[in-house]
Chains A and B, each alone.
Chain A
């Protein structure tokens, strides 16, 4: 399989990359890790005239906590999340997610920004970012703007990114004490997209009441989903088995899967039910261990 001809561009400034986007409009695409785009080009599903490789731009690959936020540069490779002490100590949900994406070689190239910007509801990071209530920073000709994760995924394979904008950073509220998270995924085999997956991030107050709760769902709708009803059910409560069971049921109601090779819609709904409960339980365990 051979990709179509195109012109390779490699700006070393973000402003230059944005000007190139301005100039070439819809004929240009951003090349980050390329692990969604290049296969699509080999299949000749994607036929860009220009690829703007942003890997040479300084300052887009970082991972740090500052001012109450976890800041992830869009060009951070998935493998750098796996290898980060900060992530493994404080953000188990992100660690879980990074480990479940494709395979080690792919994770050495694939970027966190790319995983979001592709807008694929089957990708794993979107649900995690929904659970973490991330904000996405994008840069365009008129400077930068922040988009809340709930406003970012607008339609099937479509995001709030404009043609002339580049996703530069993801900001996540720093994990408070006594918090925990988990990503639970059922896949047909290692490296596959999820039949269904659930991301959970929660924190407790001193009294053991759930203070913050985020539940994101992968590949069970046209876009990555948040289970508002499960979150509402848990928020402000002291979790017990029946509460968790009901949350699973509510998350299953919130999702909108379709029949495909991975199983029927009903099967996926059932998986969401079960995986939501598992993700909540593990998040709780991890928070208690952390506290």
Chain B
């Protein structure tokens, strides 16, 4: 099994590594780069804990080979806070008590980031469908929805 060279821009920095064909993207992040904010909650792409953005699109990094991200731009939870300023979603999850054990939180935030990017003012129903690929066992989703709404408002306020 030969190694391949991948170059991926991760949270703004270009990273080049030699990886095995079969190395899953989530393990590349967690084990090669020791960026452990991206979590693993299942094996079957159902839980969404491993969600990251590739070229702005949310994907489940447990069901991608690292090679599939070659040449692309990737954002993880570690890249959401910029210049010491929390992303409005991070702030929203804190303000609205949108997390408990915190395990699903990074994936939720990454998924919600794309949702708000595509639909800056989603209805409750759109948020519910929008995060339907992310399982949370603690919150009952009520406050996660509020957290996304909080962020939507904040982003819109900042834009005006």
Task: Give chain A's interface residues, CB within 8 Å of chain B.
Answer: 1-8, 10, 31, 34-35, 38-39, 41-43, 51, 53, 55, 79, 83, 99, 102-106, 108-109, 190-191
Contact = CB atoms under 8 A, between A and B. Distances in A.
Contact of B133 (A6, A8, A34, A102): A102
B63 A5 contact: no
Interface of B: 1-2, 4, 20-22, 24, 43-46, 48, 51, 57-60, 63-65, 67-68, 70, 111, 114-115, 118, 129-130, 132-134
User: Which 5 interchain pairs have the tightest Cβ spacing?
Assistant: A103-B133, A8-B21, A1-B43, A5-B1, A108-B57
Nearest to B67: A8
A5 B21 CA distance: 7
Contact of A104 (B1, B22, B133): B133
B115 A39 contact: no
Contacts of A35: 45, 63
Contacts, number: 89
A104 B132 contact: yes
Contact of A51 (B21, B44, B46, B130): B21
Contact of A105 (B59, B67, B118): B59
Contacts of B4: 8
Contact of A39 (B63, B65, B114): B63
Given A10-B67, A39-B43, A104-B130, A109 B59 contact: yes
Interface centre among A6, A99, A109 (most CB of B within 10 A): A109
With most chain B CB atoms within 10 A of its CB, the pick from A2, A6, A83, A105 is A105
Nearest to A192: B46
B54 to A, nearest CB: 8
Contacts of A103: 48, 132-134
B75 to A, nearest CB: 14
Contacts of B20: 5
A83 to B, nearest CB: 7
Given A4-B22, A104-B114, 16 more contacts: A2-B22, A6-B21, A7-B2, A8-B4, A10-B70, A34-B65, A35-B45, A38-B65, A39-B45, A51-B21, A53-B68, A102-B133, A104-B111, A105-B60, A106-B63, A108-B58
B131 to A, nearest CB: 8
A51 B65 CA distance: 11
B63 A38 contact: yes
Contacts of B51: 105
A232 to B, nearest CB: 36
Nearest to A189: B132
A4 to B, nearest CB: 7
A42 B111 CA distance: 23
Nearest to B40: A1
Contact of A79 (B57, B60, B67, B111): B57
Q: Which of A6, A8, A109 has the most CB of B within 10 A?
A: A8
B68 A34 contact: yes
A8 B66 CA distance: 11
Contacts of B115: 104
A106 B22 CA distance: 19
A75 B51 CA distance: 21
Contact of B64 (A34, A51, A83): A34
Contacts of B114: 104, 108
7 contacts: A7-B21, A39-B44, A39-B45, A79-B57, A103-B132, A104-B111, A105-B60
A106 B45 contact: yes
Contacts of A109: 59-60, 63-64
B22 A6 contact: yes
Contacts of B118: 83
Contacts of A105: 45, 48, 51, 58-60, 111, 133
Contacts of A83: 118
A79 B54 CA distance: 14
